[in-house]
Structure 1
Amino acid sequence: MKKLLKFSGIIALIFFSNFSIAQTNEIAKKHKSTDFYELYKPGTTEVVLVLFGGYPENAEDIEREFAITGRANKKNVAVVYLNYSGKLWLEENEKIKLTESINTLFQSNELPTKKIFFGGFSSGGNMVLLISNFLIKNSNVIQPAGVFIVDSPIDLLALYNSAEKNIKSNYSQPAVQEAKWIIKTLNENFGEPENNLDKYEKYSVFTSKTDHISNLKNLNSTQIRFYTEPDTLWWKENRKANYDQMNAYYIKKLSENLKNSGFDQVEYIPTENKGYRANGERHPHSWSIIDKEELLQWMLKK
């Protein structure tokens, strides 16, 4: 009897070891890593979600802050976390190169192209809107079915003006450091706003001062979602920033502008007390303001 139990135990051990190896191999099949992206592809793939991080997030950072892989794969949604950030706008040559990289990503991994969704956090949202507009304009094989942004600095002129206020108030060291970088970067590339408004309009997603939305005109038939958490109290206490210095203010204005211009598939989604970093830090400027399950349901309906 003891020999039989011992023998049965060995069989069970072998079985579970093989099962574990099989699971590991299955996971390995689903995951592909390159300098450009991290891909998690389920056995059957119907929908693809491509995510852009904010400055200076890489794929690993996005996956940590917005852990949607398991939930998405169970619904046959492939997830791509991009190593592409550090930009507030895209030059024309950058749009072309990024398009080539995205096309290669889809072709080499045999990803479906009927239901593709692009999402981006912070400056990554700027890239999502600009590259999506470019893809549709040029009738690229990759056509976004929907796009979403998460608290993105869509108005570069407003960003410049807010940075000046942050430096003047000198209330928050992180805000001052960021503000100095913003002004330096924009000055070096576009010059001071008062004499170079046309350059800000050319590269910005939206210029509220002039209601300029030309950089989004090809998205008029695309599903668009704007996520933001307009926690005015948090920004006042932590950055001494007024509502008109917040990304949320300009995101709402863009949403209203697009709807008034005939964009009938735009959703403005403000949240409350959902903004927390992966380490538990309270911050309204976070990936966590998105309801992952609801987002996936939205994608699967389209």
Structure 2
Amino acid sequence: MNKYLTILFFIAMFVSCKLEKKTIVKKETITEVVKTDDFELIKASKDSKTVLILFGGFGEKPEDIKREFKITNIAKKNNVSLLLMNYSSKLWLEEDDKKGLATLLQKTLENHNLQNKNIFIGGFSSGGIVSMLISNYINGMKEFYIDPKGVFIADSPIDLLALYKASELNIKKNFSEVSVAESNWIIKMFNDKLGSPKNGISMYEKNAVYTMESDYTKNLDNLKNTKIRLYTEPDVAWWKENRRTDYEHTNAYYIKHLSKSLKSKGYKNVTYIATQNKGFRANGERHPHSWSIIDKENLFRWMLE
């Protein structure tokens, strides 16, 4: 009888252990998603200490950012809240734009108890322009208290004067239909809003992130103590083959010179990152002008260090 009781005891213990293993709950980061016409917020758990605000390229919405950048999983893993902005039709910001956008960002962060977190702002293409200009504006205005710890761009056309001149060349070459159409649109808009550079470049200096011709960087004066990352992929062969564009007329060329200029002026936290063969669209198309040039793991280490 004792023998059978012993056997039953061990069976009971075995079953009990199996049941205990099955009831172990794995703790995961819980997220809350809020969607409005202005943004999509993917809020991490209550103890999240970091917020990443992203601006897409021209015409991109939050869904496009998620598709091209695939950022949500790594943000969740690192307990970082994401604010994906539906604000993507600007190549520069007027004063009213800056105040309106800064107010929107601050109110959004306040409403969701994120205003006291470590804030980072970044964007792709025109979204990088917005990221730099709005970060500089926020840092310089006492009414706003959401100063970013860091800001980054991905292959942004930071020099509007250079963009105008490159567009003129594209029209003359008449090689790529896409490039010619875009260039005609740029020339017309710039002439209407900023005036022809033949009549002076002051409006270009006033509105651009950087003007290489005059080494004008005053629109970044308030970012001297902010961490800055400048991503680009200077694929000379791709631009030659697909657009007949020389390196001196690519975004990469001006981004590199901006990096040198800022460092020479005492900006100690500027990192220039030139990638190779990283640029691919979500559909697999090879293109150096893409979100994918950003190494996401490395980006998050930079934010969380």
Provide TM-score, normalisation by structure 1: 0.90
- State the partner residue of 1:205: 209
2:67 corresponding residue in structure 1: 64
Write the distance in 2 (CA, Å) between the matches of 1:146 and 1:242.
31
1:156 aligns with 2:160: yes
Q: Which has the larger radius of gyration?
A: 2
8 A Cα contact 2:44 2:80, kept in partner? yes
Partner residue of 2:273 out of 249, 269, 276:
269
Letter in 2 for 1:36: D
- State the alpha-carbon separation in 2 of the partners of residues 237 and 113 from structure 1: 48
Name the structure 2 match of 1:126. Answer: 129
Number of residue pairs aligned between Structure 1 and Structure 2 = 280
State the distance in 1 between where 2:156 and 2:53 align: 16
**Aligned partner of 2:196: which letter?**
E
Structure 2 counterparts to residues 152-231 of structure 1, below 5 A:
152-231=156-235
**Matching residue within 137, 143, 168 for 2:140:** 137
Q: Distance in 2 between matches of 1:173 and 1:234?
A: 16
**Percent of residue pairs identical:** 53
Matches within 5 A, 1:102-121: 102-121=105-124
Query: Does the alignment pair 1:251 with 2:268?
Result: no
Given that residues 106 and 115 in structure 2 are in contact (C-alpha distance below 8 angstroms), is that contact kept between their aligned partners in structure 1?
no
Q: 2:35 aligns with which of 19, 33, 39?
A: 33
Equivalent-residue separation in structure 1 for 2:156 and 2:58 (angstroms): 11
**Does structure 2 conserve the Cα–Cα contact (< 8 Å) formed by 1:190 and 1:196?**
no
Which position in structure 2 is the counterpart of 1:5?
none
Aligned to 1:292: 296
Cα distance, 1:112 vs. partner?
4.4
Q: Deviations over 1:166-208 (max 9, x none)?
A: 0000000000001001101100001110213111111011000
Deviation at 1:103, TM superposition (A): 0.8
SS state at 1:144 partner: coil
Q: Deviations over 1:46-84 (max 9, x none)?
A: 100000011011111111101111111221110111100
Distance 1:94 1:296 in 2: 29
1:101 aligns with 2:100: no
CA contact (8 A) 2:115 2:146 kept: no
State the SS of the aligned residue for 2:162: helix
Paired amino acid for 1:160 = Y
Where does residue 76 of structure 1 map in the other structure? 79
Question: 8 Å contact 1:133–1:217 — kept in the other structure?
Answer: yes
Gaps of at least 5 residues in structure 1 are 1-14
Q: Is the 8 A contact 2:225 2:268 kept in 1?
A: yes
- Quick one: distance in 1 between partners of 2:119 and 2:207? 24
CA displacement at 1:101 relative to structure 2 = 0.4
- RMSD (Å) for aligned C-alpha atoms: 1.7
Q: CA deviation at 1:149?
A: 0.1
Corresponding letter in the other structure for 2:41: L
Aligned to 2:11: none
CA distance in 2, matches of 1:87, 1:75: 30
Unaligned 5+ runs, structure 2? 1-21
Between the aligned partners of 1:300 and 1:125, the Cα distance in structure 2 is 20
Runs of 4+ displaced beyond 4 Å: none
**Deviation (angstroms), 1:113:** 2.6
TM-score by length of 2: 0.89
The answer (yes or no) to whether the contact 1:46–1:112 under 8 Å persists in 2 is no
Give distance in 2, aligned partners of 1:69 and 1:41: 10
Letter in 1 for 2:277: N
Cα distance between partner residues in 1 of 2:146 and 2:220: 17
